[in-house]
Amino acid sequence: MPIQGLQAENLHLWRGERHVLDGVAFTLPPGFCLHVAGANGSGKTTLLRAVCGLLYSESGRVLWNGRDVSEDLAGFHSGLIYIGHEPPLKSDLSALENLRYWLGVRRRLGPTLLEAALQRVGAGAFRDRPVRTLSAGQKRRVALAALSLALVPLWLLDEPTTNLDAAGQQLVGTLIEEQLARGGLVLAATHQELPVARERVRRLELAVE
């Protein structure tokens, strides 16, 4: 199925008294990255969670391939991966086991695929260590391995470059560019600059209320 893109129309979301998302709208065609920028507390995470359906917006809608995602939420979900600012890893399991259980729920993954993905992000050396013993940057790298394993058109990344060294940040850029080159879409919320070619990036600036 050809991917036509992601659209958000007039998203409004309240958190108690705070109007966090105030009519946010964007259009993202395939092969483009949306850089969601803004100060702390401007609602970057909220926007990402509202787009993928973890949060319900009070009004507005999200369209995937021209159709309202609430019509087929499971179908929409199987085409996206969301990585929050804490990588969803179990501290008592190894990096390899974590990926196996996390992504195995979506796809049948053999050990070779898992190992290749971990090698790719420079996590091969510590794949069998319990995640508890890994540094924040190493955990982030393990989470990045999930991106290439999920093989989905839409990536939603919350602060993908935090805790990473220079080479790691460059890796995030490379992974995103590869995703865009094969016609995927990326939503990345970060207040840093994204290490991605500018002509592929659209910018959405959120303001603090």
Partner 1 sequence: MSNVSAATGQPLALAGEEGGPRPAPASMLDAARLVLLRDLKLAFRRRGQLVQPLAFFAMVTTLFPLAVSPELSRLREVAPGVLWVAALLASLLALEFLFRDDAHDGTLEQYSLSGQPLTWLMLAKTVTHWLLTGAPLALMAPLAALSLGAPGASLPGIVICVAVGTVALSLIGSIGAALTLGIRRSGVLLALLTLPLSLPVLIFGARATELAIRGAAYGAPLELLGAMAILGVTLAPLAAAAGVRISLE
Binding site for partner 1 (CB under 8 A): 52-56, 74-75, 77-82, 84, 86-93, 97, 100-102, 104-113, 115-117, 119-120, 148-149, 151, 175, 178-179, 182-184
Minimum separation from the CB atom of position 56 to partner 1 (A): 7
**The dihedral sign for the CA sequence 101, 104, 109, 115:** negative
Nearer to partner 1, 5 or 84 (CB): 84
Cα angle value 205/9/15 (rounded, 5°) = 70
Nearer to partner 1, 63 or 109 (CB): 109
Q: In whole angstroms, what is the distance from residue 178 CA to residue 195 CA?
A: 12
Minimum separation from the CB atom of position 37 to partner 1 (A): 23
| Helix axes of 166-181 and 136-150: crossing angle, nearest 10 degrees | 10
Minimum separation from the CB atom of position 44 to partner 1 (A): 17
Q: In whole angstroms, what is the distance from residue 175 CA to residue 154 CA?
A: 13
Minimum separation from the CB atom of position 205 to partner 1 (A): 25
Report yes or no: 157 and 3 within 8 Å, Cβ to Cβ.
no
Nearer to partner 1, 3 or 201 (CB): 3
Nearer to partner 1, 14 or 193 (CB): 14
Minimum separation from the CB atom of position 167 to partner 1 (A): 17
Nearer to partner 1, 1 or 56 (CB): 56
Q: Which residues fall within 8 angstroms of residue 88, CB to CB, at 6 or more apart?
A: 102, 143
